[in-house]
Structure 1
């Protein structure tokens, strides 16, 4: 009767754990350093905060411009308002005038 007698090797015991460690290490590395990892998430959050601040400034500027347009286009165009805005944006005045600008435009 033929039987196979296998000698137990120490190398065989470490193959499956080595593969598991390599698998976990690969995915662990990419969880931290990958395109959607922790480091990239922090950068996305910084960009989001910067763009939110920029959006707030642009929204405020738009509201100011809309308020100016509503004052000029409500049917009764005020000549003083038009004159004031033109002088401010074109930076002109008459020779005998003193101009003090309040930065509200």
Structure 2
């Protein structure tokens, strides 16, 4: 056999395994570094933790606002709360009155 035929036969023998190796490398790379790969999945898991924390904090804030709104309902209005709100927001204070701002109280007793 001549050298050219030996080389051509050897190339044909290695062509399919080489292509298979390239395809496997392509899919392996994208399985790790692609937009839906392992690294992206870890990033999405971290983001999910952050967003879940924000959602819980916003749910608590929403519940607080709903309670405050319920105090201003016409059917069951808390007149003291309405008076306090008007004084605080609108600055409606009489000449002989003083406004004392207190820090918010915690539900736990002081130790």
The normalised TM-score by structure 1 is 0.74
The answer to whether the 8 A contact 1:93-1:99 is kept is no
Q: Matched residues in 1 for 2:79 and 2:50: separation?
A: 40
SS at match of 2:22: helix
Closer, same or farther in 2 for the Cα pair 1:103/1:44, shift >3 Å?
Answer: farther
Greater relative contact order, per chain length (Cα 8 Å cut-off, separation 6+): 1
Matches within 5 A, 1:52-91: 52-73=52-73, 75-88=75-88, 90=89
Q: Runs in 1 of length 4+ with deviation above 6 angstroms?
A: none
Q: Which runs of 5+ in 2 are unaligned?
A: 107-111
SS at match of 1:99: coil
Residue matched to 2:109: none
Q: CA RMSD in A?
A: 2.6
Closer, same or farther in 2 for the Cα pair 1:71/1:13, shift >3 Å?
Answer: same
Q: CA deviation at 1:92?
A: 4.6
Closer, same or farther in 2 for the Cα pair 1:38/1:20, shift >3 Å?
Answer: same
Q: Matched residues in 1 for 2:34 and 2:86: separation?
A: 54
The answer to whether the 8 A contact 1:87-1:93 is kept is yes
Q: Matched residues in 2 for 1:103 and 1:40: separation?
A: 43
The normalised TM-score by structure 2 is 0.71
